[in-house]
Chains A and B, each alone.
Chain A
Amino acid sequence: GAVVSQHPSRVICKSGTSVKIECRSLDFQATTMFWYRQFPKQSLMLMATSNEGSKATYEQGVEKDKFLINHASLTLSTLTVTSAHPEDSSFYICSAPGQGMVGETQYFGPGTRLLVL
């Protein structure tokens, strides 16, 4: 099946620094990717839709200037958490829809655990 990778898998940073997370579709092209955030014991919350060749679409309440998304190619989307603070510590997961399937199959990356000190 299709594979989505994320890098890094775990990152610890100091408050005020920026952190970049990469999401790659390894054997298929993804014009759209999704970024989710999951706090402990809570469900996944969609943050934004990353669109290749155009601006990302952010969900209500998500600060676009804080969570910068760049869909650089058909296989790569990046999420940059700017000026990270401890409250940004979370599990960040990306996904990409399977080709030709509307909502049927989403391939999830393994997630990136961010800890801001």
Chain B
Amino acid sequence: QKEVEQNSGPLSVPEGAIASLNCTYSDRGSQSFFWYRQYSGKSPELIMFIYSNGDKEDGRFTAQLNKASQYVSLLIRDSQPSDSATYLCTLSGGYNKLIFGAGTRLAVHP
């Protein structure tokens, strides 16, 4: 069974700093990885997806994938208080299914 492991946090960073969120996954055959952001009481929203080894940048967000180490990360530069949320590391379980990690709670303080 495919599993995704994340540190539940909270990860506390000062405003303007870089927040680093990490996760590992169990199935070496996994191909597609996603980072979702979920505000309290709301449904998830997609931040980034990554399929290939290496880095993928989109604005203040950088996703990193290392398939050999089965490791995925998300860097948030210039963190803002509005980035405070739970970040869900997610992988594709096939047939359009998504498998979510437990989430890391990020708190950005002014």
CB distance from B94 to the nearest CB of A (A): 8
Number of interface residues of B (CB under 8 A): 21
Distance between B83 CB and nearest chain A CB, rounded to angstroms: 19
Residues of A within 8 A of B81 (CB): none
- Write the B18-55 contact mask toward A (1 if CB under 8 angstroms, else 0): 00000000000000100000000111111001000000
The answer to whether A43 and B88 have CB atoms under 8 Å apart is yes
Contact with A along B72-110 (1 / 0, CB 8 A): 000000000000000010001111111111110000000
B43 touches A43 (CB 8 A): no
Query: Does chain B have a CB within 8 A of A78?
Result: no
Chain A CB within 10 A, most for which of B95, B96, B100: B96
Tally A-B pairs: CB < 8 A.
50
Q: How far is the CB of B56 from chain A (nearest CB, A)?
A: 13
CB pair B96–A97 under 8 Å, yes or no, is yes
Cβ of A108 and Cβ of B92 under 8 Å apart?
no
Query: Cβ of A110 and Cβ of B43 under 8 Å apart?
Result: yes
B44 touches A44 (CB 8 A): yes
Task: Tell me the minimal C-beta distance from A77 to chain B in angstroms.
Answer: 14
**A109-B103 in contact given A34-B97, A46-B98, A104-B49 (Cβ < 8 Å):** no
A49 vs chain B, min Cβ distance (A): 7
Interchain CB contact under 8 A, A46 and B43: no
Cβ distance A109 to chain B, nearest Cβ, rounded Å: 6
B32 touching A103, Cβ below 8 Å: yes
Distance in angstroms between the alpha carbons of A106 and B46 in the assembled complex: 8
**Shortest Cβ distance from A4 into B: residue:** B43
16 inter-chain pairs at a CB distance below 8 angstroms, sorted by A residue, are A34-B96, A43-B88, A43-B101, A45-B100, A46-B97, A46-B98, A49-B95, A91-B41, A102-B96, A103-B97, A106-B96, A106-B98, A108-B45, A111-B41, A111-B43, A113-B41
| The 8 nearest A-B residue pairs measured at CB | A103-B92, A108-B43, A97-B96, A43-B100, A43-B102, A111-B43, A44-B100, A93-B43
